[in-house]
């Protein structure tokens, strides 16, 4: 496994992913174009970057909490998943969750974060019966409010 994230700029204005503070888990991703989202509208927004996620890792594209609380900006498929073998442009599927106000983002603004997580190698094996657990088959809401 490599501790290096290789990045290629596909757009001259693209910013390399970067941590805002030392020790942060997420690398900020920025947009290379202006974006305007009406209430309830979604858009696939380019970052102008392609990345090589190291083998044994996955990239998770997650929302920025400040934009969520201030503007109601979210990700439609949070987290978005970037597999190690993907080499296309990283794009972020944004949605305006504010019921009344449009959201305007300018090129160069931080729109999401990229978090690299380890992915263990596993073998899938069919089983006629699963081992018991304390939770069992309790699903949504089964652990309380």
- Structural domain total, the chain: 1
d(CA 111, CA 95): 11
In a domain, 129, yes or no: no
Q: Tell me the H-state helices in 1-145.
A: 65-71
Residue 21: CATH number of its domain: 2.70.40.10
The residue behind tokens 């949070």 is: 78
In a domain, 124, yes or no: no
What element of type H or E holds 49?
strand 42-52
Domain of residue 52, residue span: 6-118
d(CA 49, CA 27): 13
Query: Please, are residues 89 and 9 in contact by the beta-carbon 8 Å criterion?
Result: no
pLDDT of residue 50: 98
d(CA 90, CA 46): 7
pLDDT of residue 145: 62
In a domain, 141, yes or no: no
- 41-89 per-position pLDDT tens digit: 999 999 999 999 999 999 999 999 999 999 999 999 989 999 999 999 9
**Which are the contacts of 119, defined by CB distance < 8 A and separation ≥ 6?**
56, 57, 58, 84
Q: Is the pLDDT of residue 144 over 80?
A: no
In a domain, 99, yes or no: yes
Cα separation values, 14 from 54, 71, 78, 81, Å: 21, 23, 22, 20
pTM of the entire predicted model: 0.89
Pull the structure tokens for residue 59: 């990239």
What confidence tier does 1 reach under pLDDT thresholds 50, 70, 90?
Answer: very low
CA atoms within 13 A on the CB side of 13: 11
Average pLDDT over residues 98-107: 97
In a domain, 103, yes or no: yes
d(CA 13, CA 20): 19
Phi-psi region of 59 (alpha: psi -120 to 50; beta: other; left: phi over 0): beta
């Amino acid at each position: 496994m490599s501790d290096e994230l290789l990045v290629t700029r596909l757009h001259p204005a693209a910013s390399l992913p970067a941590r805002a503070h030392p020790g942060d888990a997420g690398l900020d991703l920025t947009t290379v174009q202006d974006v305007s989202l009406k209430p309830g509208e979604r858009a696939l927004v380019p970052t102008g970057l392609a990345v090589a996620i190291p083998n044994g890792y996955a990239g998770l594209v997650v929302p920025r909490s400040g934009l969520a609380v201030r503007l109601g900006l979210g990700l439609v498929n949070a987290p978005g998943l970037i597999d190690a073998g993907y080499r296309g442009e990283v794009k972020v599927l944004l949605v305006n969750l504010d019921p009344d106000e449009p959201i305007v983002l300018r090129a160069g603004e931080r729109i999401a974060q990229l978090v690299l997580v380890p992915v263990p190698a596993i073998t899938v094996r069919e089983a006629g019966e699963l081992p018991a657990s304390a939770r069992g088959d309790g699903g949504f809401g089964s652990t309380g409010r």
